Structure 1
Amino acid sequence: MKVEDFRRLALGILVCVAIFGGIFMLARFLQIHQIRTLKWIPILMTCVGFYFAARINRKTKLPALLLLLVGLFAFVPLRFFYIPFVFVLILCAVLALLLSRKEISIKIRSLFLISLFGIFGYFLFSQPLIIRKKGFSVDEMGNLHNVNVLWDFRESSPIKLPQYMFKNIKGKEVQLSDFEGKNIYVTFWATWCGPCMAEKPKLEEIKEMFKNNENLIFIDISLDANRSAWEKYVSEKNPAGIQLNSTNDRQTRETFQIAGIPHNIVISKDGYYKSFSRPSKITENQLEMLKNPEKLENYVKTTVKYFKE
């Protein structure tokens, strides 16, 4: 390749990453709820970013054009880069790159464009689109206040716990369904997360409060990719409850729809779960839910409601 080709490729990657950042910041500005869990956002970034990167590289030979896929690594810090979703992003990137190639017939490029719209549309409407308004809040029952729900086509039913493996301190595989028959308060956290560490004293205080309650167990799940950092913390601090570690941070976030950590859920005896307040935000009424299995089950089985006020 010529020097000019490298320059165009480098510019294409820079433009691609800039478009990623612009769309992400626009989504934040629009106050879209839980943008890190919405798969259509990185798909939109990919389609737009790689299309314009390809336009810049119209004179670049087709095989060399694939070097632009390096731009996908910009999704790593945004936590959109995980298997198997990354294969969807690669497909969209390749289709977007090929749209600008005149050596490909218009009919074929039209099929590529229709495919991109189909993929984007599927993911766009498969998840709710909720806009936060001024005064946005989440009440004790997990309901959202001061929001505009543009659409939500999901079934209004409780969420069943997925089959998903974690590892304990001894390296043994454990899944949350192994504790079926008990109510569970789960904390997703990491040693590198400042807000997570700030919650630890209150979390341990609540664990102490429930140490004689046989119906409720506490499970802390670390998202540390550096397992040794987690092991060191557990060894030095000896926290109460069951300590587990995720072997795939991004896959765990996607599976449990975690927008950010610390993140807490409660699980009913029969294996359904729902988001719950972090330790420092737990109210007296929520403490009563944790004490009373029937109240906790009612909370978990009650679907989230949306309020515009």
Structure 2
Amino acid sequence: MFRPVCKIVPLLLLLFFSLSANLVAAGTSKAGPPRVGQLAPDFTLKDVKGRSYTLSELRGKVVLVNFWATWCPPCRAEMPSMEKLSAMLSNDDFVLLAINAEEDALDIVQEYLQESPHSFPVLLDGETAVQQQYGVYAFPETFIIRRDGIIADHVIGAIDWTGPKVLNLIKFLING
């Protein structure tokens, strides 16, 4: 009876340490989505005209990164206020990037932009890599990024981007 226990205990210990190591590795291999106060993950995406935009190249400016989809009614509803915000702050150090997170959506997005043109860049994340990098799970979802690349605010859902609270925050970040 002593021999089987001697063989089982080392196997159980080996199994325990193996599972523990895998759990620790799984917990530390991915930092998770970025949070307010953390550096915004860098990305490079192309707009509907093929021009590349890299977030880190916009350092020194306040950047609003909005994830949206053409099939999303709240996304469409907030676009006019985003257009107004972009126009209001066009002479300031402010950039608005609207990231469409639909697979193979170039034609759909171009059709949408013909109906509702925008002055700000509309980027394509057809493989949803940036959406996943930012942990976006709802549309619209927006990150406001300070001049130094740190996330200042994170908004889930549609809002009026010309409302006093958000407008004051963005102006403070621009002037501050």
* Aligned twin of 2:76: 197
Cα distance in 2 for residues equivalent to 1:117 and 1:199: 46
Cα distance in 1 for residues equivalent to 2:95 and 2:145: 10
The alignment covers a number of residue pairs equal to 164
* Aligned twin of 2:169: 289
Question: Could you list the per-position Cα deviations for residues 242-269 of structure 1 after superposition, in whole angstroms to 9, with x for gaps in the alignment?
Answer: 12111321x2233112232211111222
Question: Could you list the per-position Cα deviations for residues 37-93 of structure 1 after superposition, in whole angstroms to 9, with x for gaps in the alignment?
Answer: xxxxxxxxxxxxxxxxxxxxxxxxxxxxxxxxxxxxxxxxxxxxxxxxxxxxxxxxx
- Secondary structure in structure 1 of the residue aligned to 2:139: coil
Cα distance in 2 for residues equivalent to 1:256 and 1:187: 11
Q: Structure 2: where are the runs of 5+ without partners? A: 1-7
| Equivalent runs, 1:1-309 vs 2, <5 Å | 111=14, 114-124=17-27, 158-211=37-90, 213-227=91-105, 228-249=107-128, 251-277=129-155, 280=159, 283-293=163-173
Cα distance in 2 for residues equivalent to 1:289 and 1:163: 22
1:279–1:203 CA distance, 2 compared to 1 (3 A): farther
The code of the aligned residue for 1:214 comes to: D
Larger proportion of helix: 1
1:214–1:184 CA distance, 2 compared to 1 (3 A): same
Instruction: Give yes or no for contact 1:169–1:231 (8 Å, CA) kept in 2.
Output: yes
Instruction: Give yes or no for contact 1:183–1:269 (8 Å, CA) kept in 2.
Output: yes
Q: Offset of 1:190 from its aligned partner?
A: 1.0
The code of the aligned residue for 1:290 comes to: I
Cα distance in 2 for residues equivalent to 1:157 and 1:202: 23
Instruction: Give yes or no for contact 2:36–2:152 (8 Å, CA) kept in 1.
Output: no
Cα distance in 2 for residues equivalent to 1:285 and 1:127: 31
Q: Offset of 1:117 from its aligned partner?
A: 4.2
Instruction: Give yes or no for contact 2:36–2:150 (8 Å, CA) kept in 1.
Output: no
Q: Offset of 1:203 from its aligned partner?
A: 2.3
Structural RMSD (CA): 3.4
Report the TM-score, using the length of structure 2 for normalisation.
0.72
Instruction: Give yes or no for contact 2:98–2:121 (8 Å, CA) kept in 1.
Output: yes
Q: Offset of 1:159 from its aligned partner?
A: 1.8
1:274–1:195 CA distance, 2 compared to 1 (3 A): same
